[in-house]
Amino acid sequence: ETLAAETGAVPVSADIAEDDDVAHLVGAVEAGGGIDTLVNIAGGARGADWVADAKTEDWEWMLRVNVVGTMKITRAFLPMLRANGHGTVLNLTSVAGLVSYEGGGGYNAAKFAEHGMTRALRLEEAEHNVRVIEVMPGLVKTEEFALSRLGGDAAAAERVYEGVEEPLSAEDVADVIRYAVTVPHHVNLDDIVIRPVAQAAAHKLLRKR
């Protein structure tokens, strides 16, 4: 509601993995005149356990939200995007879908799957003039992500970013998304990897003490 007041957006509460909620969302969008761009940003991580200690409920949640939810929303809106003639789908994934790491097995599995789904979608929708973009951020410091992943442990969440002078911000990622979906439609920025300079690679993160 706060965002709606600031931007004029129309808020619709929905669980993207529930068919009835997705149908309600599509109906609300159709009533508002439809869309030409779908930005899939719902997702997240739960837990940092190694596979040997994996919690089934965490893995099921990550696959349900990141993969099945993205599929359901995309499937529901594709007819509208095709009919528009110049549709765009942008999936916000993660560099966790490119490189695995200890304690990331469940999130890696979800984001690798979402990465593969995005690539397949690009091949399938080109003939409908629907461009498909993937944005893959590295270390982004937000109030929610690490805190949610680590079960609300604020101290553990803060250690994720400890010593990193300038991690990415949500605004940084939003700027890239805005650019990617507003360039001329014949331009498709297939895969965009965003990292802070301090994160030269998945295995190299500079921390200053």
Q: Kindly report, residue by residue over 16-43, the tens digit of the pLDDT.
A: 999 999 999 999 999 999 999 999 999 9
Which of these is catalytic: 101, 107, 161, 179?
107
**Residue extents of the structural domains in the chain:** 30-205
107 flagged as catalytic: yes
- Residue 157 is predicted with a pLDDT of 67
- Residue 171 is predicted with a pLDDT of 95
Contact 132, 84 (CB under 8 A): no
User: In the CATH hierarchy, which top-level class contains the domain 30-205?
Assistant: alpha beta
- The number of beta carbons lying within 10 Å of the beta carbon of residue 114 is 26
Q: What is the pTM of this model?
A: 0.91
DSSP annotation string for 190-204: -EEEE--TTEEETTE
Provide the 3-class DSSP secondary structure of residue 132.
strand
